[in-house]
Chains A and B, each alone.
Chain A
Amino acid sequence: MVQISLPKNSEIKKGNYYKDKTGSKNIRKVNIYRWDPATGDNPRIDTYEVDMDNCPSKVLDLLNKIKNEIDPSLAYRRSCAHGVCGSCAMNMDGKNGLACTKPHSEIKGDINIYPLPHLRVLKDLIGDLSILYKQYESVQPWLKTTKKSDGTENLQSKEDRSKLDGLYECIMCACCSTACPSYWWNGEKYLGPAVLLQAYRWIIDSRDEDRKDRLKKVADELKLYRCHTIMNCTNACPKGLNPAKAIASIKKMLATS
Protein backbone atom coordinates (compact mmCIF):
# COMPACT_ATOMS: atom_id res chain seq x y z
CA MET A 1 0.00 0.00 0.00
CA VAL A 2 1.16 3.50 -0.77
CA GLN A 3 1.75 5.30 2.47
CA ILE A 4 3.51 8.59 1.95
CA SER A 5 3.86 9.67 5.59
CA LEU A 6 5.84 7.79 8.21
CA PRO A 7 4.05 5.93 11.03
CA LYS A 8 3.90 7.71 14.39
CA ASN A 9 6.72 5.74 15.99
CA SER A 10 8.98 6.57 13.03
CA GLU A 11 8.62 10.33 12.99
CA ILE A 12 12.05 11.90 13.29
CA LYS A 13 12.84 14.22 16.19
CA LYS A 14 15.70 16.63 16.64
CA GLY A 15 18.61 15.00 18.46
CA ASN A 16 21.89 15.92 20.08
CA TYR A 17 24.43 18.39 18.79
CA TYR A 18 28.09 17.43 19.14
CA LYS A 19 30.24 20.54 18.96
CA ASP A 20 33.75 20.32 17.57
CA LYS A 21 36.41 20.04 20.27
CA THR A 22 39.52 20.04 18.10
CA GLY A 23 39.37 23.75 17.28
CA SER A 24 39.76 22.99 13.58
CA LYS A 25 38.85 25.65 11.03
CA ASN A 26 37.76 23.12 8.42
CA ILE A 27 34.50 21.87 9.92
CA ARG A 28 31.57 20.08 8.27
CA LYS A 29 28.24 19.27 9.82
CA VAL A 30 27.14 15.65 9.56
CA ASN A 31 23.49 14.80 10.29
CA ILE A 32 22.96 11.15 11.12
CA TYR A 33 19.75 9.18 11.70
CA ARG A 34 19.80 7.56 15.13
CA TRP A 35 17.49 5.05 16.78
CA ASP A 36 18.24 3.06 19.89
CA PRO A 37 16.11 -0.06 20.43
CA ALA A 38 16.88 0.05 24.17
CA THR A 39 15.07 3.32 24.86
CA GLY A 40 11.90 2.98 22.79
CA ASP A 41 12.05 6.67 21.86
CA ASN A 42 11.35 7.94 18.37
CA PRO A 43 14.27 8.17 15.93
CA ARG A 44 16.28 11.38 16.00
CA ILE A 45 18.85 13.24 13.91
CA ASP A 46 22.15 13.82 15.69
CA THR A 47 24.45 16.49 14.33
CA TYR A 48 28.22 16.14 14.52
CA GLU A 49 30.80 18.78 13.76
CA VAL A 50 33.72 16.96 12.14
CA ASP A 51 37.26 18.20 11.62
CA MET A 52 37.76 17.59 7.89
CA ASP A 53 41.50 18.32 7.93
CA ASN A 54 42.11 14.95 9.51
CA CYS A 55 39.54 12.86 7.73
CA PRO A 56 40.15 10.52 4.76
CA SER A 57 38.08 10.88 1.62
CA LYS A 58 35.08 8.56 1.88
CA VAL A 59 31.83 8.80 3.82
CA LEU A 60 32.74 5.58 5.64
CA ASP A 61 35.96 7.23 6.85
CA LEU A 62 33.81 10.03 8.18
CA LEU A 63 31.57 7.59 10.06
CA ASN A 64 34.60 5.74 11.44
CA LYS A 65 36.03 9.04 12.62
CA ILE A 66 32.79 9.93 14.40
CA LYS A 67 32.59 6.48 16.00
CA ASN A 68 36.23 6.48 17.08
CA GLU A 69 36.59 10.06 18.21
CA ILE A 70 33.19 11.58 18.99
CA ASP A 71 30.41 9.08 19.67
CA PRO A 72 31.18 5.34 20.06
CA SER A 73 27.47 4.49 20.34
CA LEU A 74 26.89 5.03 16.60
CA ALA A 75 25.96 1.76 14.88
CA TYR A 76 26.41 0.91 11.19
CA ARG A 77 27.42 -2.12 9.14
CA ARG A 78 30.81 -2.18 7.46
CA SER A 79 33.36 -4.75 6.51
CA CYS A 80 35.63 -4.64 3.47
CA ALA A 81 35.74 -0.84 2.89
CA HIS A 82 36.47 -1.47 -0.80
CA GLY A 83 33.03 -1.70 -2.38
CA VAL A 84 33.04 -5.47 -2.53
CA CYS A 85 31.02 -6.72 0.44
CA GLY A 86 28.05 -4.35 0.25
CA SER A 87 27.69 -4.00 4.02
CA CYS A 88 27.88 -0.22 4.28
CA ALA A 89 24.96 0.50 1.94
CA MET A 90 23.07 3.54 3.20
CA ASN A 91 21.31 6.68 2.08
CA MET A 92 23.74 9.60 1.72
CA ASP A 93 22.67 13.02 0.50
CA GLY A 94 19.31 11.64 -0.64
CA LYS A 95 20.72 8.79 -2.71
CA ASN A 96 21.57 5.20 -1.88
CA GLY A 97 25.14 4.05 -2.20
CA LEU A 98 28.09 2.44 -0.47
CA ALA A 99 29.63 4.64 2.21
CA CYS A 100 33.06 3.17 1.41
CA THR A 101 33.03 4.25 -2.24
CA LYS A 102 31.20 7.58 -1.92
CA PRO A 103 33.58 10.55 -1.51
CA HIS A 104 32.21 13.13 0.93
CA SER A 105 33.63 15.88 -1.28
CA GLU A 106 30.84 15.06 -3.77
CA ILE A 107 28.25 16.16 -1.22
CA LYS A 108 27.47 19.86 -1.05
CA GLY A 109 26.40 21.50 2.21
CA ASP A 110 25.65 19.44 5.31
CA ILE A 111 26.11 15.71 4.98
CA ASN A 112 22.85 13.84 5.64
CA ILE A 113 23.09 10.14 6.35
CA TYR A 114 20.08 7.83 6.73
CA PRO A 115 19.63 4.07 6.72
CA LEU A 116 18.45 2.45 3.47
CA PRO A 117 14.89 3.71 2.85
CA HIS A 118 11.67 1.97 3.89
CA LEU A 119 13.20 -0.75 6.05
CA ARG A 120 12.52 -1.71 9.65
CA VAL A 121 15.40 -0.11 11.53
CA LEU A 122 17.32 -2.40 13.88
CA LYS A 123 19.62 0.30 15.20
CA ASP A 124 20.86 3.66 13.86
CA LEU A 125 21.92 3.06 10.24
CA ILE A 126 21.18 -0.66 10.24
CA GLY A 127 18.03 -1.74 8.42
CA ASP A 128 16.41 -5.16 8.48
CA LEU A 129 16.93 -6.93 5.13
CA SER A 130 15.47 -10.31 6.07
CA ILE A 131 12.50 -9.98 3.66
CA LEU A 132 14.91 -9.27 0.79
CA TYR A 133 17.04 -12.29 1.70
CA LYS A 134 13.96 -14.52 1.78
CA GLN A 135 12.98 -13.24 -1.65
CA TYR A 136 16.52 -13.92 -2.85
CA GLU A 137 16.20 -17.49 -1.60
CA SER A 138 12.88 -17.82 -3.44
CA VAL A 139 14.53 -17.40 -6.87
CA GLN A 140 16.85 -20.33 -6.04
CA PRO A 141 20.11 -18.60 -6.90
CA TRP A 142 22.15 -21.66 -7.73
CA LEU A 143 22.96 -23.68 -10.83
CA LYS A 144 20.41 -26.35 -11.62
CA THR A 145 21.59 -29.10 -13.90
CA THR A 146 20.96 -32.81 -14.34
CA LYS A 147 24.39 -33.33 -15.87
CA LYS A 148 26.45 -35.72 -13.79
CA SER A 149 29.85 -34.32 -13.01
CA ASP A 150 32.62 -36.26 -14.71
CA GLY A 151 35.31 -34.38 -12.88
CA THR A 152 35.80 -31.76 -15.60
CA GLU A 153 34.60 -28.16 -15.74
CA ASN A 154 31.14 -27.29 -17.00
CA LEU A 155 32.29 -25.15 -19.91
CA GLN A 156 30.59 -22.16 -21.50
CA SER A 157 31.31 -20.46 -24.81
CA LYS A 158 32.85 -16.99 -24.59
CA GLU A 159 29.64 -15.58 -25.96
CA ASP A 160 27.45 -17.29 -23.38
CA ARG A 161 29.78 -16.22 -20.61
CA SER A 162 29.59 -12.60 -21.74
CA LYS A 163 25.83 -12.67 -21.13
CA LEU A 164 26.59 -12.75 -17.42
CA ASP A 165 28.63 -9.55 -17.54
CA GLY A 166 26.81 -6.77 -15.75
CA LEU A 167 24.95 -9.37 -13.69
CA TYR A 168 27.50 -11.44 -11.80
CA GLU A 169 29.10 -8.29 -10.35
CA CYS A 170 26.05 -7.67 -8.14
CA ILE A 171 27.01 -7.71 -4.46
CA MET A 172 23.45 -7.71 -3.07
CA CYS A 173 23.94 -4.48 -1.13
CA ALA A 174 20.22 -3.65 -1.60
CA CYS A 175 20.89 -0.07 -2.71
CA CYS A 176 18.67 -0.59 -5.77
CA SER A 177 15.75 -2.36 -4.13
CA THR A 178 15.49 0.17 -1.32
CA ALA A 179 15.65 3.03 -3.86
CA CYS A 180 12.60 1.69 -5.72
CA PRO A 181 9.24 3.32 -4.91
CA SER A 182 7.45 0.18 -6.15
CA TYR A 183 9.45 -1.85 -3.67
CA TRP A 184 8.59 0.64 -0.91
CA TRP A 185 4.85 0.21 -1.48
CA ASN A 186 4.83 -3.53 -2.31
CA GLY A 187 8.02 -4.78 -0.67
CA GLU A 188 6.56 -8.05 0.52
CA LYS A 189 5.11 -9.10 -2.83
CA TYR A 190 7.22 -7.40 -5.50
CA LEU A 191 10.65 -9.02 -5.67
CA GLY A 192 12.49 -5.75 -6.31
CA PRO A 193 15.40 -4.94 -8.66
CA ALA A 194 18.18 -6.72 -6.72
CA VAL A 195 16.40 -10.08 -6.59
CA LEU A 196 15.07 -9.79 -10.16
CA LEU A 197 18.56 -9.04 -11.45
CA GLN A 198 19.73 -12.21 -9.68
CA ALA A 199 16.78 -14.15 -11.10
CA TYR A 200 17.79 -12.99 -14.59
CA ARG A 201 21.42 -13.93 -13.90
CA TRP A 202 20.32 -17.59 -13.55
CA ILE A 203 17.71 -17.44 -16.32
CA ILE A 204 20.33 -16.31 -18.84
CA ASP A 205 23.05 -18.74 -17.71
CA SER A 206 23.64 -21.21 -20.57
CA ARG A 207 24.57 -24.00 -18.13
CA ASP A 208 21.30 -23.80 -16.22
CA GLU A 209 18.61 -26.27 -17.32
CA ASP A 210 15.74 -24.79 -15.36
CA ARG A 211 15.12 -21.68 -17.48
CA LYS A 212 11.47 -22.44 -18.32
CA ASP A 213 10.55 -23.08 -14.72
CA ARG A 214 12.43 -20.03 -13.49
CA LEU A 215 10.60 -17.83 -16.00
CA LYS A 216 7.27 -19.36 -15.05
CA LYS A 217 7.88 -18.74 -11.37
CA VAL A 218 8.81 -15.10 -11.81
CA ALA A 219 6.00 -14.27 -14.31
CA ASP A 220 3.64 -12.76 -11.80
CA GLU A 221 1.64 -9.53 -11.69
CA LEU A 222 3.15 -8.65 -8.33
CA LYS A 223 6.53 -10.37 -8.32
CA LEU A 224 7.72 -8.95 -11.65
CA TYR A 225 5.29 -6.52 -13.25
CA ARG A 226 5.29 -4.03 -10.39
CA CYS A 227 8.38 -2.67 -12.11
CA HIS A 228 7.26 0.51 -13.86
CA THR A 229 10.73 1.47 -15.11
CA ILE A 230 11.16 4.30 -12.64
CA MET A 231 14.93 3.69 -13.02
CA ASN A 232 15.81 4.64 -9.44
CA CYS A 233 17.55 1.25 -9.19
CA THR A 234 19.98 1.93 -12.02
CA ASN A 235 20.54 5.44 -10.70
CA ALA A 236 21.47 4.06 -7.29
CA CYS A 237 23.61 1.01 -8.14
CA PRO A 238 27.12 1.64 -6.69
CA LYS A 239 28.58 -1.00 -9.03
CA GLY A 240 27.20 0.68 -12.16
CA LEU A 241 24.92 -2.24 -13.04
CA ASN A 242 21.52 -1.94 -14.70
CA PRO A 243 18.75 -3.79 -12.84
CA ALA A 244 16.07 -1.96 -14.87
CA LYS A 245 17.47 -3.48 -18.05
CA ALA A 246 17.67 -6.94 -16.49
CA ILE A 247 14.01 -6.74 -15.45
CA ALA A 248 13.04 -5.53 -18.94
CA SER A 249 14.96 -8.48 -20.42
CA ILE A 250 12.89 -10.90 -18.29
CA LYS A 251 9.69 -9.17 -19.44
CA LYS A 252 10.86 -9.38 -23.05
CA MET A 253 11.72 -13.08 -22.74
CA LEU A 254 8.26 -13.75 -21.32
CA ALA A 255 6.58 -11.76 -24.07
CA THR A 256 8.48 -13.46 -26.88
CA SER A 257 8.73 -17.06 -25.63
Chain B
Amino acid sequence: MNNNPLSPHIQIYNWHISSLVSISHRITGVINILAMCVICFWIWTLTLGNTNYDIIYNFFNSFLGKFFVISFIWSYSFQILCEIRHWFWDLGYGFELKTSKITGFLVILGSISLTIIFYTFKGILI
Protein backbone atom coordinates (compact mmCIF):
# COMPACT_ATOMS: atom_id res chain seq x y z
CA MET B 1 0.00 0.00 0.00
CA ASN B 2 2.93 2.33 0.68
CA ASN B 3 3.84 2.44 -2.96
CA ASN B 4 0.38 3.47 -4.07
CA PRO B 5 0.33 7.10 -5.14
CA LEU B 6 -1.82 9.72 -3.42
CA SER B 7 -4.46 11.13 -5.74
CA PRO B 8 -4.10 14.88 -6.39
CA HIS B 9 -6.19 17.09 -4.13
CA ILE B 10 -5.69 20.84 -3.68
CA GLN B 11 -3.81 20.94 -7.00
CA ILE B 12 -6.91 20.01 -8.98
CA TYR B 13 -9.87 20.99 -6.81
CA ASN B 14 -11.91 24.02 -7.88
CA TRP B 15 -12.20 26.94 -5.51
CA HIS B 16 -15.69 27.96 -4.39
CA ILE B 17 -16.58 31.23 -2.71
CA SER B 18 -17.15 29.33 0.54
CA SER B 19 -13.71 27.68 0.56
CA LEU B 20 -12.00 30.92 -0.48
CA VAL B 21 -13.64 32.86 2.35
CA SER B 22 -12.83 30.05 4.79
CA ILE B 23 -9.09 30.01 4.05
CA SER B 24 -8.97 33.83 4.01
CA HIS B 25 -10.68 33.81 7.42
CA ARG B 26 -7.76 31.75 8.75
CA ILE B 27 -5.07 33.83 7.07
CA THR B 28 -6.55 37.15 8.27
CA GLY B 29 -6.68 35.63 11.77
CA VAL B 30 -2.91 35.17 11.70
CA ILE B 31 -2.38 38.63 10.17
CA ASN B 32 -4.53 40.15 12.93
CA ILE B 33 -2.32 38.63 15.63
CA LEU B 34 0.72 40.21 13.94
CA ALA B 35 -1.17 43.49 13.60
CA MET B 36 -1.94 43.37 17.34
CA CYS B 37 1.80 43.11 18.02
CA VAL B 38 2.45 46.19 15.89
CA ILE B 39 -0.29 48.12 17.71
CA CYS B 40 1.13 47.08 21.09
CA PHE B 41 4.55 48.21 19.94
CA TRP B 42 3.03 51.53 18.90
CA ILE B 43 1.40 52.02 22.30
CA TRP B 44 4.66 51.12 24.00
CA THR B 45 6.56 53.78 22.02
CA LEU B 46 3.99 56.34 23.20
CA THR B 47 5.28 55.87 26.74
CA LEU B 48 8.80 56.74 25.62
CA GLY B 49 8.05 60.29 24.50
CA ASN B 50 7.66 62.39 21.40
CA THR B 51 10.72 61.41 19.38
CA ASN B 52 9.90 57.71 19.56
CA TYR B 53 6.32 58.40 18.61
CA ASP B 54 7.56 60.25 15.52
CA ILE B 55 9.16 57.06 14.16
CA ILE B 56 5.82 55.26 14.12
CA TYR B 57 4.00 58.39 12.97
CA ASN B 58 6.32 58.78 9.99
CA PHE B 59 6.09 55.09 9.17
CA PHE B 60 2.29 55.09 9.11
CA ASN B 61 2.37 58.09 6.77
CA SER B 62 4.86 56.55 4.37
CA PHE B 63 3.64 54.64 1.30
CA LEU B 64 4.47 51.27 2.84
CA GLY B 65 2.92 52.34 6.13
CA LYS B 66 -0.32 53.33 4.43
CA PHE B 67 -0.38 49.99 2.67
CA PHE B 68 -0.02 48.26 6.04
CA VAL B 69 -2.77 50.33 7.63
CA ILE B 70 -5.20 49.67 4.78
CA SER B 71 -4.36 45.96 4.86
CA PHE B 72 -4.95 45.82 8.62
CA ILE B 73 -8.29 47.57 8.29
CA TRP B 74 -9.35 45.14 5.59
CA SER B 75 -8.11 42.15 7.54
CA TYR B 76 -10.06 43.21 10.66
CA SER B 77 -13.22 44.01 8.70
CA PHE B 78 -13.05 40.66 6.95
CA GLN B 79 -12.51 38.81 10.22
CA ILE B 80 -15.43 40.55 11.94
CA LEU B 81 -17.85 39.87 9.08
CA CYS B 82 -16.71 36.24 8.90
CA GLU B 83 -17.32 35.84 12.61
CA ILE B 84 -20.83 37.25 12.23
CA ARG B 85 -21.42 34.71 9.46
CA HIS B 86 -20.16 31.97 11.78
CA TRP B 87 -22.55 33.10 14.55
CA PHE B 88 -25.47 32.52 12.23
CA TRP B 89 -24.05 29.13 11.28
CA ASP B 90 -23.67 28.24 14.96
CA LEU B 91 -27.37 29.04 15.43
CA GLY B 92 -28.14 26.71 12.53
CA TYR B 93 -28.96 29.24 9.81
CA GLY B 94 -27.46 29.93 6.41
CA PHE B 95 -26.33 26.47 5.32
CA GLU B 96 -28.27 26.35 2.06
CA LEU B 97 -25.88 26.48 -0.90
CA LYS B 98 -27.40 29.64 -2.29
CA THR B 99 -27.44 31.43 1.08
CA SER B 100 -23.85 30.47 1.87
CA LYS B 101 -22.76 31.74 -1.53
CA ILE B 102 -24.55 35.05 -1.02
CA THR B 103 -23.26 35.53 2.53
CA GLY B 104 -19.72 34.63 1.39
CA PHE B 105 -19.97 37.22 -1.35
CA LEU B 106 -21.39 39.77 1.12
CA VAL B 107 -18.43 39.16 3.44
CA ILE B 108 -15.98 39.93 0.62
CA LEU B 109 -17.93 42.95 -0.59
CA GLY B 110 -18.60 44.18 2.95
CA SER B 111 -14.96 43.94 4.00
CA ILE B 112 -13.90 46.06 1.03
CA SER B 113 -16.64 48.65 1.68
CA LEU B 114 -15.77 48.82 5.39
CA THR B 115 -12.11 49.35 4.50
CA ILE B 116 -12.98 52.23 2.20
CA ILE B 117 -15.36 53.78 4.76
CA PHE B 118 -12.93 53.48 7.67
CA TYR B 119 -9.96 54.75 5.70
CA THR B 120 -11.72 57.70 4.06
CA PHE B 121 -13.54 58.84 7.18
CA LYS B 122 -10.87 58.03 9.74
CA GLY B 123 -10.56 61.73 10.64
CA ILE B 124 -14.25 61.97 11.54
CA LEU B 125 -14.40 58.64 13.36
CA ILE B 126 -11.42 59.43 15.58
Contact = CB atoms under 8 A, between A and B. Distances in A.
A37 interface: yes
Given A94-B14, A95-B13, A121-B7, A248 B96 contact: no
Contacts, number: 112
Candidate in A95, A116, A127, A248 with the most chain B CB atoms within 10 angstroms: A248
Interface string B85-100: 0100111100111001
A248 B95 contact: yes
Given A229-B86, A229-B89, A234-B100, A7 B6 contact: yes
A122 B89 CA distance: 38
A112 interface: yes
Contacts of A78: none
Contact of B13 (A91, A127, A231): A91
A200 interface: no
Interface string A23-64: 000000000010101001011000000000000000000000
A139 B26 CA distance: 30
Interface in B60-114: 86, 89-92, 95-97, 100
Interface in A65-86: none
A249 B18 contact: no
Interface residues of A, number: 46
A121 B16 contact: no
B4 A118 contact: no
B5 A235 contact: no
A94 B4 CA distance: 22
A91 to B, nearest CB: 6
A81 B29 CA distance: 45
Interface string B19-49: 1001100100000000000000000000000
Contact of A232 (B5, B16, B86): B16
A251 interface: yes
A119 B6 contact: yes
Given A184-B9, A245-B95, 9 more contacts: A33-B8, A35-B4, A43-B5, A91-B12, A179-B13, A231-B18, A242-B97, A245-B92, A255-B90
- A-B pairs, 4 with minimum CB distance: A94-B14, A231-B18, A10-B5, A117-B9
